[in-house]
Amino acid sequence: MVYIREAHAVDSVWPMATPDGTVMEEPRTLAEREQHASHCMSSLDLSPMPALVDDLADDANRCYDAWPDRLILIDRDGRVAYRSAPGPFGFDVEAFERAIAQELEPGGDAQG
């Protein structure tokens, strides 16, 4: 998982408290963004999953057009093998799982 930016920071276009009621502001430092990511991972019980944090320039977000959230699978060659519509309403978890399974097959190619 790559944590990009808080979709509902109180000083953003769509302010909203997190599911546990915590209110977050847009981070001004990488350390603050890392704290947001840590909170997200623990409050959503995602901690068994490894996570990376996007830089403050939002390079990963811009590169993959990931905001507010997307399911994106990168293949063995570093190319996008699957990309969902914007989430959470655009998520097709079954299609994502099929893409992962196909990519994991010997000679797999999630693009089909």
Sign of CA dihedral 86, 91, 97, 99: negative
pTM for this predicted structure:
0.75
pLDDT surpassing 70 at residue 111: no
Separation of first and last alpha carbons in the chain:
23
Cα separation, 39 vs 51, whole angstroms: 12
What is residue 112's predicted lDDT score, i.e. its pLDDT?
A: 47
Higher per-residue confidence, 1 vs 108: 1
Residues 6+ apart with CB under 8 A from 1: 41, 46, 49, 50, 51, 52
Beta-strand ranges (E) seen in the chain are 2-3, 52-53, 72-74, 80-83
